[in-house]
Structure 1
Amino acid sequence: MDSEQAGAVTMESPSRVAQWLMPGWKRALKTISMLGAATAVGAVCVFLTQTLLARELGPQDYGLFASSLATITMIAPLAGFGLAQFRLRVYGVEGWAARRWIAPSLRFTVGTSILAIAIIVGWALFVAPDADTRFDLLVLIPVVLHILTIEMLSTKYRLEDRYARMAGWQLAIPVSRLLVAMVLLLVPQLTGRFVATSYALISLAMVAWALPLLRSVMRGEIDLRGHGPEPTTQAPVQEPRVSELWAQAWPFGMIAILYPVFFQVSTILLKYLGSDKQAGFWAIGLAIMTAIYLIPATIYQKFLLSKLHRWAVHDPVKFWMVYKRGNVGMFALGILVSVTMDVLAPFVIPVVFGEPYRGVIVILIVLSLCPPIRFLSTSMGSALLTDKHMRYRVYAMAWATGVAILLNAALIPRFGEMGAAWATVAAELVLLVGTWHGVRQLRRAKGVHP
């Protein structure tokens, strides 16, 4: 082989790699690595918090608190009703002109927040089975405002490509809750009511701290990236009505509402159809799965989402390239995570959580089927975050949520936590199939070939 042929062979391989990777991949990798590190820190904090709470409170009391918090986090997305995702979409499509949506968005947020709080109060007063559950539900109401605040700030920072700031605010929740768990460790006489009250006080403090930033969001002070410099003059536009906002935002809101039900319904039904102890076992498994699912969430929700909204309109070739590469990479990563779970769970659970939680091992063995399914459905679902095709994602999530509710209700009374585990696997499969069907319809509508 002469020198020219050798040079050609040497250059061929990097060029093929370059064709496979998306443009700007080095910067993207750097940002994803930073977000991944922050997510890892948050996941470790969540894991340590759940570990300490589970060991100190015991399965019964931990299950009571975990199921109450799950109820709150299931209802909380009603406050705002998907406006965070809607803002990313309208800014991605309209650019600087999207500021016209700020005023109706604020009115909509206030109304939906009041509704969310009213539902929690009603649940506590008329559905909660005992005084302890009622106490936890009422005291944890500030968590709703905290989650809403983090969503609003995260949207601002994603539009500004200030991912470090976004990661910092999102880390505040797991870090502060870990401090509460450490206090419980140092003072074991404290109870679950102390934990609930502490979570509420932390939420109120974080909302108060964020008020100056929230005011800037309300005034539309966003340093928007990817749409050129801000125009010095803009043509006057008519402010949309709340009804117009609802007409465009409802699919995002439905996803925001359906997903917590889909993910948390097992914990809640285990409490009401089983026992607090069963809910406690399940909550440990769910906490581990939550940490695992942060991997695709970091890549797609924190980093790619605002870009996907922009590319879908202004650079569809890049949009579909990222979609295809993402499917392959996420499925492979999901398989790796599943194998790791199967290998480590029998050794880690008894050591970390103690012998009373050994029953969590078999739950995790079943749930280890979920990561490849969830990772792939997250990647595929990224194609359904824009345009009118968002409704396909709503349909998929609605079917999956319905299956999750029905199977949990049917299996938990007889099989307990294991019934919840198999119901979860089935629901994840339904979500994947529904998402695949939606993407297929989207491709046909746009004339895009696989």
Structure 2
Amino acid sequence: MNLGTSLAKPIATIKKKFDNEFIRNLSWLGGSEAVNRILRLAATVVLARSLNDYDYGLAALVLTTYEFTQVFTRIGIGGKVIQADEESLESICNGAYWLNWVICSSLFVIQCIIAFPVAWFYHENALIMPICVLGLVYLITPFGRIQSTLIQRENRLKVTAVGSVVQMAAANILTAVFAILHMGMWAIILPRLLVAPIDIYINLTNHPWRIKKGFTTERWGEVFKFGMNILGISLLATLRNNLDYLIIARFLGVKELGLYFFAFNAGLGISSNIILSITTALYPYLCAVRSNWEEFKKRYFGSLKKIAVIIIPFVILQSSLAPFYVPIIFGKKWVEAVPILILICLSAIPRPFFLASTNLLAAMGKPHLSFRGNILFTSIFAIALIIGVQWGAIGVAISVLLAHVIFMPGFTVWATQFVFGKKHQKAVQNIS
């Protein structure tokens, strides 16, 4: 047996794995996030050495406000476009285009209004202007939102990945430059607005769809019916993702929030990018075979295995090395954030499995079950944070870890059993 023959089988196996659509899309998204993370790490190092914990705290509150308004753009419009059949796709896209404009324009006005009570609640008038400026993003994003969703529907996530790299590279470069220029929290806020047109340009040049009719409410009811539970899930997820910031800022102060915000981003930043790549790739990957039960089941369980192989070793490695790389890369002033960073980092392990199970239920047309699970988890999470804050930022971090480790695996097992268990299998095989 010659060398070529002996290598043929493993090469064929590797090729088969990368021919898998989920792996191919995940590779593009993961590769883009790896590049993004390298650039973000460089920007984070500059920020950590140029900004103080007070600047970080202000930026955290501005971004948190933006996250809460942004969640209302995720009312299931994209999910409905991805799931739509070919016959109704054009009409759904037309209605969704104008719905995006109505929602985003309204959110710009709302964000400017709520800037004032937010500043009053946290006794920081410096929050008003950056919150309003960041709201301008809403007046830019609708131009290419439908094209972006159609690219995902067609599983052309290479375009999404390349666009993400270009946009984030520009943002991170601007962040580093603004930090060096001593622009404080604006170094974190302003680049988000300045790079928004890049995403629009990439989406418009990579998909031919254009709006073909004037303002219409066509299919809005259908989109809302599909998206209400998706919106509820997104709202609860956003609340959970930011509730620790809000509680720390209110009870411990802006400077303590700055320390926690640094630890959270340094600890979960890489993992969250990987998790986002996984979930972005998984939903259209599952929806594409909704009518083929065996393939649907195979794809879901295969995806869980791939998630485990990717996320678990990475998180453990990052957590174990944190005491060494934080003082070297970010500076000794952030050493006290290391225990918080490790705890938050470990909480990343159950997150992608939980999100995979919510994608599973959404692909099955049962997002209401995910919504109920998210309500329960958010309630448990809020109680845990209120208890944990009594012991400062480290107590909050412990609460975050325990809440995720206890609840998320249980929900993942339940959702998987609900869909694929013998008791329900016959009923759910009629996927519409």
Q: Same fold (TM over 0.5)?
A: yes
Counterpart of 1:289 in structure 2 is 268
Superposed CA offset, 1:72-109 (max 9, x none) = 1232121252311221122xxx1353222123323432
Matched, 1:113 2:92: no
Tell whether the 8 Å contact from 2:111 to 2:132 is kept in structure 1 after alignment.
yes
Structure 1 segment 402-413 matched on structure 2, within 5 A: 402-412=379-389
Q: Deviations over 1:157-185 (max 9, x none)?
A: 11233322211222244212212222134
- Shift of residue 41 of structure 1? 0.8
* C-alpha contact (below 8 Å) 2:74/2:230 kept by paired residues: no
Q: Quick check: 1:307 aligned with 2:304?
A: no
How big is each residue's C-alpha offset from its partner over 1:173-199, in whole Å with a ceiling of 9 and x where there is no partner?
4212212222134423x3324653443
1:423 aligns with 2:402: no
1:210: Cα distance to partner? 6.2
Give the letter for the 2:395 counterpart. Answer: G
Task: Describe the superposition over 1:38-68 as per-residue Cα deviations: whole angstroms up to 9, x where unpaired.
Answer: 1101122233323322321111112211231
Are residues 161 and 215 of structure 1, via their aligned partners in 2, closer, same or farther at CA, if it must alter by over 3 Å?
Answer: closer
Q: Given the superposition, is the C-alpha separation of residues 151 and 370 from structure 1 closer, same or farther in structure 2, using an over 3 Å criterion?
A: farther
1:191 matched to 2:191: no
Question: Are 2:197 and 1:201 aligned?
Answer: no
Shift of the 304–36 alpha-carbon distance from structure 1 to 2, 3 Å rule, reads same
Change (3 A) 1:329 1:200: closer
Matched to 1:333, the amino acid is I
C-alpha separation between the residues in 2 aligned to 1:256 and 1:148? Answer: 19
Q: Which has the higher mean CA deviation after the structures are superposed, 354-363 or 114-123?
A: 114-123
Structure-2 separation of matches of 1:242 and 1:411 = 42
Match of 1:235 in 2: none
One-letter identity of the residue aligned with 2:169:
V
> Where does the alignment leave 5 or more consecutive residues of structure 1 unmatched?
4-9, 222-237
Using the alignment, how far apart are the partners of 1:22 and 1:248 within structure 2? 35
Q: Where does 1:214-225 land on structure 2 (aligned, <5 Å)?
A: 217-219=209-211
- Mapped contact 2:66–2:135 kept (Cα < 8 A): yes
Does 2:307 match 1:316?
Answer: no
With over 3 angstroms needed to count, the CA separation of the structure-2 counterparts of 1:435 and 1:145, relative to structure 1, is: farther
**Alpha-carbon distance in 1 for matches of 2:141, 2:238:** 13
Q: Counterparts of 1:325 and 1:269 in 2: how far apart (Å)?
A: 38
Q: Using the TM superposition, give the Cα deviation of residue 126 of structure 1 relative to its aligned residue in structure 2, in angstroms.
A: 1.6
Match of 1:41 among 35, 55, 61: 35
Q: 1:174 to 1:426 in 2, by over 3 A?
A: same
Select between 388-397 and 426-435 the one with higher mean Cα deviation: 426-435
1:394 is paired with a residue whose SS is helix
Where does 1:32-431 land on structure 2 (aligned, <5 Å)? 32-90=26-84, 94-128=85-119, 129=122, 130-145=124-139, 152-188=146-182, 190-193=183-186, 195-203=188-196, 205-206=197-198, 209=201, 212=204, 217-219=209-211, 240-287=218-265, 288-301=267-280, 303-313=281-291, 315-412=292-389, 414-429=390-405, 430-431=407-408
What SS does structure 2 have at the residue aligned with 1:60? helix
The structural deviation recorded for 1:398 is: 2.3
Percent identity among equivalent residues?
16
Instruction: Return closer, same or farther for 1:206/1:35 CA change in 2, 3 Å cut-off.
Output: closer
Relative to the length of structure 2, the TM-score reads 0.84
Residues in 1 aligned to 2:260 and 2:387: alpha-carbon distance in whole angstroms: 17
- The structural deviation recorded for 1:289 is 0.8
8 Å CA contact retained: 1:153, 1:213? no
In the aligned structure 1, how far is the partner of 2:21 from the partner of 2:408?
A: 32
Tell me which amino acid in the other structure corresponds to 1:407: A
In 1, distance between residues paired with 2:49 and 2:217?
53
Question: Which residue is 2:414 aligned to?
Answer: 437
- C-alpha distance in structure 1 between counterparts of 2:151 and 2:125, whole Å: 41
Residues 286 and 296 of structure 2 are in contact (CA less than 8 Å); yes or no, is this contact kept in structure 1? Answer: yes
Q: 1:148 to 1:340 in 2, by over 3 A?
A: farther
User: Structure 1 residues 29 and 215, CA, compared in 2 at 3 Å: closer, same or farther?
Assistant: closer
Could you tell me how far apart the structure 1 residues matched to 2:290 and 2:203 are?
33
Deviations 1:231-284 (A, max 9, x none): xxxxxxx98542232112212222232222221221233222222222222222
What SS does the aligned partner of 1:127 have?
A: helix
Letter paired with 1:170: S
Q: Per-residue displacement from partner, 1:15-54 (whole Å, max 9, x unpaired)?
A: xx97x99887456544433322111011222333233223
Matched to 1:134, the amino acid is I
Q: C-alpha root-mean-square deviation of aligned residues, in Å?
A: 3.4
d(CA) in 2 for partners of 1:121 and 1:323?
Answer: 42
Mark the runs of 5 or more structure 2 residues left unpaired by the alignment.
none
Report the TM-score, using the length of structure 1 for normalisation: 0.80
Deviation at 1:363, TM superposition (A): 0.8
